[in-house]
Homo-oligomer: A and B are copies of this chain.
Amino acid sequence: METLYPGIYTLTFGTPEALTPVALRDFAPAVDALEGLPALPCPFAAADLRFRTTGRGCQVELPLSGFEQLYGFGLQLKSFGQLAKKKTMRCNADPVADTGDSHAPVPFYVSTDGYGVLADSARQVHFYCGANAKPGQTERRMTIEIPHAQGVTLYIFAGQNILGAVQRYNLFSGGGAMPPAWGLGVWYRCYTRGKRPEIEGFAQEFRDRKLPVTVLGLEPSWHTKAYSCSFLWNEDNFPDHENFVANMRAMGYQLNLWEHVFTHPTAALYEKLLPFAGEYAVWDGLAPDLSLPEARALFAGYHQKEFAEKGVSGFKLDECDGSDFTGGWSYPDAAAFPSGLEGERMHNLIGLLYQHAIRRAFAPLGERTWGLVRASGALAAPSPFTVYSDLYDHRDYIRGMVNMGFSGLLWIPEVRNAAGMEDFIRRLQTVIFAPVAMINAWPFPLPPWKQVNDALNHAGVIMENTLEAEAVCRSLFELRSALAPYLYTAFRKYQTEGVPPIRALVLDTPEDEDCWNTEDAVLIGDSLYFAPLVAGETEKTFYLPKGQWVDFFAPGSAPLEGGKNYTFTYDLDHYPLFVRAGTLLPLCDVQQFIPVRPQFALRPVYYGAAPTAPVAVALYEDDGHSLNAPGRTVRLVMQPGGSCSLERTGDGTEMYTIAGGQQ
């Protein structure tokens, strides 16, 4: 048992494989932050852990205390508490059952006992979370099986509590991802068959109608070939694309381009990548082995030169998972890759390797990127990508919101079509509080607030209540815009302290067992509580954690006492959104887009009994877009009476001004 950092222990059993998530990591641990943490004893004695090799690979057994709940394993959409379950870490598209299969499986779990365990393997690791005892015995253990491997290294993260263990895991991963400020604006992905005139039409309409949108996404139509991908602008669809990009940027938009990794024979990269390609083609395109520095450099260099340097801000990385549940379109698990990886591990790694390659297209320019990806995995916290899915169950999506924080992931419970207006609005309310607030309208010629029904949208039939729908969207987009300073600061805490910006209640109050099974509410930052509604719910029973909470929509109202369930009735415009009593919430004035070099005019609102002394909140500021931008923490102070001021020390970019305040 080796102490790696204070409270982080590592233990190697047998002969681990060479190519693992830790070995292939692209981010160094956040050493300074880790070294500043207190020493904590390891939750296990080495003698408590039992290892053996088997005909299938190897396995380690770890003790369970008998009174704990377990969470994690990545983006689990089908369940929350994992005790007594079997979970298999297999990355694939559209996982439909509670098997562990996920867009972003992570061989890491945390316990309410205040520890976390990472099994450093890219294999389809199986976790048997204490379902079975041995005959005649009662003790239940965690059994971690690593197929095809003769050993494994475990990383054990101690914590004063479960959040502490998660923080250590995130800091070991490199600290959380820090978005460019524009990434926190509203995103809109345009119709998949849209050409330049249609996209420019959307862009103009959003500005004309005062719908604050910052990022526009282009879908496959920008490629000359999309399945597989050519990564070449389609000049038929986007004539003079450089001019198009410049126009969009001039209107304040950031552009995000859809692609996937399978490289079409007509791609400029094809011949160069061929020596680094896997054994099988997918959609007749090669599968680059991005674990090889040469392949990654080729991929990154091309994206830098052709896109990053030409004004594109980021990418949506599709199809980088597997197809176990979707017919088998991807490469087989046994497919050979030049690095020595085979399909099994590549499926679990390619999402991350792809993220690393794309990030490296922007890094040389000193710019942050912020993108979407359909697959991720272990140690992903610093990677500037949010996981999305083509699944579409709203409750599953909410469960993703609750689970993402356990495993260093960001997740968007997207919205596109809907069963009706109520469904659309409830889904939009959920996504407005996600790491990326996006309407993923790729299937739609018309924005969904004009028509939520897929067939009618294609038929051009505009809903009667489209103006009401647009107003709801505008209001939610504006709410998102107003939260940007709060969210930016929460992300900074993710980056420097490893605290997930959006997280399950149990992470903050593990001593409150009523939170252990709360899978339908999250904390956003340290001061906001959010319990999304789904279509059909007009009355909602929700659990407020201990403490005092004020209704976001009624700042002057009496606080509710947490630690119990409440049942309220909600109209379509409202839902359980609460602010911790005593919070100065740093809202800002709405802008139609968040610029690259952002300026936020603060209009903070105080939640709680009228203060008799100054109240304050810390905000993070920097230039909002550069990698390694110097930054600082600003103190926003409100005097009893409501006048506000900013307290800064030293030089630096000033991101905030005061526009007003409300008590």
Contact = CB atoms under 8 A, between A and B. Distances in A.
A135 B286 contact: yes
Interface stretch (A141-149, A208-216, A295-303, A407-415): A141-149
Contacts of A128: 328, 332
Contact of A328 (B129, B325, B342): B129
A132 interface: yes
Contacts of A97: 96-97, 325
Name the residue in A147, A323, A336, A342 with the highest tally of chain B Cβ atoms < 10 Å from its Cβ.
Answer: A147
B85 A328 contact: yes
Given A96-B96, A126-B332, A281-B133, A85 B145 contact: no
Interface in A137-192: 137, 143, 145, 147-148
A145 B333 contact: yes
A274 to B, nearest CB: 7
Interface string A88-108: 100000001111000000000
B148 A55 contact: yes
Contact of A84 (B86, B143, B327): B327
B133 A284 contact: yes
Nearest to A92: B99
Contacts of A284: 133
A475 interface: no
Interface residues of A, number: 53
B327 A134 contact: no
Nearest to A149: B55
A274 B328 contact: no
A557 to B, nearest CB: 42
Contacts of A135: 274, 277, 280-281, 285-286
B334 A59 contact: yes
22 contacts: A56-B342, A57-B334, A84-B327, A84-B328, A85-B327, A86-B327, A96-B96, A96-B97, A97-B325, A128-B328, A131-B328, A132-B281, A132-B330, A133-B280, A133-B281, A134-B279, A134-B280, A134-B281, A135-B274, A135-B285, A143-B334, A148-B148
Given A97-B325, A143-B334, 12 more contacts: A57-B334, A85-B328, A88-B324, A96-B96, A96-B97, A129-B328, A132-B332, A135-B277, A135-B285, A135-B286, A143-B332, A145-B332
Interface of A: 54-57, 59, 84-88, 96-99, 126, 128-129, 131-137, 143, 145, 147-148, 265, 274, 277, 279-282, 284-286, 323-325, 327-336, 342, 344
